Structure 1
Amino acid sequence: MRNQGLTFVEVIVAAGALAVVLGFFTTLLVGNMRQTTIVGARAQANQIGVFLGRQILEADDRALPAEGQSLSWGYGQLNDASIGFATLTQERQFGNIALYRASITNQGAPSWAGSGWQISQYRIEVCWQSPEGERCVQQSIIGPAPALAGSEVVTNIN
């Protein structure tokens, strides 16, 4: 008659199987956490791009580069009161703005625009650092030409 306990070999096999299962679930969990971080950072970058697009539509001089030119803000500069947008830190949906950099490029009037139209197409790029390196999102928007900044034509759009 056999004792009711487990043999040493059975315990080792069970511990090995448990280690394999735990290793598999840990790998899944870490991968899921990394993907969630990337998706969250991408959503934040898109929101910053929407904010910058709104600044363009409101004809904010700080967001309207001359035709063919770019404006850039490095990491930690977007929320700097002297060169960035102080109102960006007051927006509740944003996390740590210092982790992002952005640029706005004025690509000139779109090809379909009439000769009397004073509009420009802008490319907005917002980037952040991820474990795999820098990642960026890009957006395009049509807005007023820089010459119209501050004019009554485009103020108080909202």
Structure 2
Amino acid sequence: MNINIRNYSVTSKWRKGLSLIEVIVAISIIAIMFAVLTPALIDNSKRTAGTGQITQAASMLNFFVRQIVGGNAQVLADNTPISWGYGALSSSTLGLNTEKDLGNPDLYKVTISNQGEVTVLTASATQYQVDVCFQQGSEETCINAKTLGPAPTDTGIGRILPGIN
């Protein structure tokens, strides 16, 4: 038995790296993906900012409802609604914390109006509506709530639920 082993030189036809066409195709695919995803990312950012504003407005609403229930004379509207416009809340004496970004109270407008007296069985209270508004893009968005509180007094004393605040 005769076996011949010859030395074969194997040379690779493959080069290291990518060709110009492969690079152009890869860049094109990335550009298309970027173009498709960019509007979705921008829309998501806008929705997140809007949700943050609504959450902060709800916190402001909660603050004012607590002030009404607690009998704070500064927020108990009589026949004329009480209103703080944009930029007026941080300089008010209500004790709101001044924060950055969406937590800045100057980005919100608050109106409290007296809706009249409500009687249930033998108990009576005054119903108030609290509106908190903010600018979302070029439009004003408002949320509101109704709550019960004491009738407005000159002294501010007249809590219907002592110990709430």
TM-score range, shorter chain: 0.7 to 0.9
Measured in 2, the distance between the counterparts of 1:59 and 1:49 equals 16
| Corresponding letter in the other structure for 2:89 | L
Q: Which residue of 131, 136, 139 corresponds with 2:142?
A: 136
Counterpart in 2 of 1:95? 103
* 1:63 match: secondary structure: coil
Is 2:69 the counterpart of 1:57? yes
Counterpart in 1 of 2:157? 151
Kept in 1: contact 2:113–2:129 (CA 8 A): yes
Measured in 2, the distance between the counterparts of 1:134 and 1:33 equals 19
* 1:105 match: secondary structure: strand
Decide which structure has the larger Cα Rg and report it: 2
Measured in 1, the distance between the counterparts of 2:155 and 2:62 equals 19
Counterpart in 2 of 1:76? 87
Q: CA deviation at 1:121?
A: 1.2
* 1:55 match: secondary structure: helix
Q: Choose 37-46 or 10-19, whichever is displaced more.
A: 10-19
Q: Displaced runs of 4+ in structure 1, greater than 6 A?
A: none
Q: Percent identity?
A: 31
* Cα shift readout 1:5-55 (whole Å, capped 9, x = no counterpart): 5454x5544433321211222222221111111111101001001100111
The 1:47/1:105 distance shift into structure 2, 3 A limit, reads same
| TM-score for the superposition, normalised by structure 2 | 0.75
Across the aligned residues of Structure 1 and Structure 2, the Cα RMSD in angstroms comes to 2.9
- Work out the number of aligned pairs and report it: 149
Kept in 1: contact 2:151–2:158 (CA 8 A): no
* 1:108 match: secondary structure: strand
Counterpart in 2 of 1:109? 117
| Corresponding letter in the other structure for 1:54 | R
For structure 1, the 5+ residue unaligned runs are none
Is 2:69 the counterpart of 1:66? no
The 1:124/1:153 distance shift into structure 2, 3 A limit, reads closer
